[in-house]
Amino acid sequence: MKYWITLFVFLWTIPAYTMELRATVNDTPISDLDIKNWSALLKMQHPDKYDYMSAKKLQEEALDAIVESHVKKETATAAGKKITPADIQNAKAHLEQQNNLPAGGLKTMLKKNGVKEETLTKQIESDLLWLQYLREKGGELNVSNLAVNKRYQAMKKELEKQGVKGDSVTLWEMAQGVLPENVDPSTTLQSKSCDAFLEHIKIGPYPESAQRGWTNPQQFPVDLRDLLKDVAVGETVGPLRTPKGFLMMMKCDVHTQQVMPTKDQLKMQMEMEQLDVLSRRLLAEAKRKAVVEKKD
């Protein structure tokens, strides 16, 4: 009996981690642990934005994200909106597909980034409820065919200025480099791949001239474009005399890219733009009505 009493006293004296209250939103507490968890979630979702942000600024952004999540959920719930656990699971499955993850891969990604699944679940729940609320408030979004046609023609005109005709553009992946005039270019011309081609350039006196990338053929001078248009993938062109030496080129790949959306796609995009404007306005109104108290 003495052992159990001693053990109880020992456990009682271990200092427990006490969560520090950092803020409240409509009387709902937000702790420092909440902010830590949301900070990890934001860094995972937007690494380019948050990886180089100071810890203090990241915590401020995380607190604002928590407040918005609470406000979205409370506003939508008050309007009678509901979701089911199946809705949340479907949203997680969709996230896996978007990120090319296998089934169950989302859990692995969360663990790798130090993100609590519960935090992501809260974000998904508030976003799904808010989307229902927006759809009710927005009703039928008013994007007329006239507005779609006007946007479509403006986009087409801008692309034509850039030399793009039609709804798609053919891009060439080109490798190029310069060899001095006293070097026999035959080895480079016989290269079987773009990698081998560039290796020949890099061992020459102008390694910095070795380049590879996608380009719009319309950006080439007319005479060079005419020379390259019938060249097959894997074939080389050159030597072409330049002030520095012989320019050598190889066509690595060809790809046709859709640059103009269909009018249906454009209408959907314009509806999403209207929905985004509505969302920002309603969220700003809801946040103004919310009682947010930050603790020093």
pTM of the model: 0.60
Domain coordinates of the chain in residue numbers? 18-140+274-294, 168-258
* Candidates 1.10.4030.10, 3.30.70.260, 1.25.40.10, 1.10.10.10; CATH matching 18-140+274-294: 1.10.4030.10
Q: How far apart are CA 245 and CA 180, in angstroms?
A: 5
Q: What is the mean pLDDT of each run of 10 residues along the chain (296 residues)?
A: 43 52 89 94 88 87 94 95 95 89 91 94 96 84 87 86 72 88 75 86 85 85 85 87 85 82 87 89 92 83
For position 111, what pLDDT does the model report? Answer: 94
Q: What is the pLDDT of residue 4?
A: 42
* CATH hierarchy code of domain 168-258: 3.10.50.40
Contacting residues for 263 by C-beta, under 8 A, at least 6 apart: 148, 149, 152
